[in-house]
A and B are shown apart, each in its own frame.
Chain A
């Protein structure tokens, strides 16, 4: 699905990613954990194409295509989805109009005609139910006046509507109470299938109680320094990150 090799990225001349390698196959769920400032969100942003970052070295292949060469919108059209840590409020653009535009732009890219209005509405209804999103919210402006939990659920709702091949969840658990966390996680779990992969970026282990990962990676100083199964997350929860830091620093 996605293959990241020796990725280096910096912002304002400061190097954040320093040779990151990661392989994700269809159907897999990979968790990326790590202390603050280790580069987790940078990785998510770089993959989605945020222009504040400069890629200085390395390559990313997404379904065999050069991801770093694609525009932001083409990455999404090829099936990459980023669930934002801080979803943006867009006054005056209705959720529905926004989603319909997105779906139709993606369809046009694939050489398909616009979606039938009744199919679109049926899908909206179905997916709203999936993430327990209040139907009133979809009629409002994108994220405007939404609570933190509603914004995160709206991200998962958009993911459900756009049916990506690879979804990157950037600290989707941050700012969520336990009920909202459960709803978001259950939405994600319902969207798991053998063709779809997930990269779940998180600081805390608790999200992984609900979204069980196939692999857990620890990101530190812009590199993946340890990989393992879901048990690694539990170990981190118990021991904290200092253990990893000292291990890495000793090796260095």
Chain B
């Protein structure tokens, strides 16, 4: 049944692509290659090892993201204001996958930073041309392929050498539609040598209509760049998201990523970090909180191909209701990657009997002079601690919240930016109220 059905699902998704392709920006060859791959593979099914717990094909079969005629409700400056994370940050607003300069706050961009619509940049900007589709390969994953085939925009953010961005840059993704549909924002961030950048991406939806944001972000962190990259997934139960971030880290750079999946109906994160030069460092922090029927799946890959690099990963999750979470952390230490330090920790708390966590650390080590460790745990709230709190007069619900918050704060405390921390603090308080 499914072979035929899958074909029809894929062909329905790609319906009219031939007539659409010539009108899309950029190099037709890259798009065509992506279409071919997507046509062949289709939306991943539960038979795919990397997608088996969340079964994207099942989600699409319900057919709720197939509208071909997006009707955009006017997104206003007021909406954008309401979705502020850091007051005073430069804002780049992407609505339904398209960069909207009129809603953005580009005048706040630090000197030395260039922002362009990616559709313009891949035609006119040499750096964009040289880096586009180089980290995220269409033939690695159907969602990258789908985005590469059909994306109509997003931003190209270029931090020129020696620029220390004192003002954070916020990419605000808004999904807003009158019919359930899929959007494909595509971003490229290049931080040249000796730069400092704080980039916040937040994901929001307006209205109750289900949307799928299939975002692909490519990052190049050049020599000695210091790059803090936040992803705040707060889009509400109607928001669905496949978030692919592919990072190339070069010598002496420190790329640190913070992924907070605290609201959102169905979220899949593919975070891939590749070290191609020695003495490079990366930190990956993640917090996922799920309830109801929500799904959050974090797949991370850290690929050590060269010696003397360091990666450190901490992901924590709290699952309630009938929700499902997945953590899959791959670390590759290739044969030449001697003197690698690679650490990974994943901790989970299940609050209800119907919640599920599937956790899988996956270390593949081919070098012999390395320090690597991983640990994973899943448990329930500590009943002795609950009793202790209640024995001091704290109600059961409040006691549970205190313990959950303490568990989550382990990750929140890693956030160096105080404004982001305050934002998270506020969101978490509301979430647990």
Contact = CB atoms under 8 A, between A and B. Distances in A.
B47 interface: no
Interface string B404-431: 0111011000000000000000000000
Contacts of B399: 73
Interface string A77-90: 10000101001101
A124 B407 CA distance: 26
B387 A98 contact: no
A11 interface: no
A184 interface: no
A87 B388 contact: yes
B393 A102 contact: yes
A72 B390 contact: yes
A114 B406 CA distance: 22
Contacts of B398: 101, 105
Contacts of B392: 76, 98-99, 102, 158, 162
B384 interface: yes
Contact of B406 (A87, A92, A105): A92
A109 interface: yes
A97 B394 CA distance: 12
B395 A105 contact: yes
A90 B395 contact: no
A77 B388 contact: no
A76 B407 contact: no
A98 B409 CA distance: 15
Contacts of A106: 393
Contacts of A49: 390-391
Nearest to A164: B393
A87 B385 CA distance: 9
Contacts of A109: 393
B179 interface: no
Tell me the interface secondary structure of chain A in the complex.
Answer: helix
A43 interface: no
B396 to A, nearest CB: 7
A79 B404 CA distance: 27
A50 interface: yes
Nearest to B406: A92
B206 interface: no
Contacts of B396: 71-73
A101 B402 contact: yes
Contacts of A97: 402
Given A93-B402, A105-B393, A162-B393, A84 B388 contact: yes
Given A88-B385, A105-B395, A105-B398, A73 B390 contact: yes
A97 B401 CA distance: 13
A48 interface: yes
A76 B393 contact: yes
A92 B398 CA distance: 15
Nearest to A107: B393
Contact of B394 (A91, A92, A105): A105
A51 B409 CA distance: 29
A32 to B, nearest CB: 19
Given A75-B391, A142-B388, 16 more contacts: A71-B390, A73-B390, A73-B393, A73-B396, A82-B391, A88-B385, A88-B387, A88-B388, A90-B385, A90-B388, A92-B405, A92-B409, A98-B394, A101-B402, A102-B394, A105-B393
8 contacts: A72-B390, A73-B390, A76-B391, A82-B391, A92-B409, A99-B392, A102-B389, A162-B393
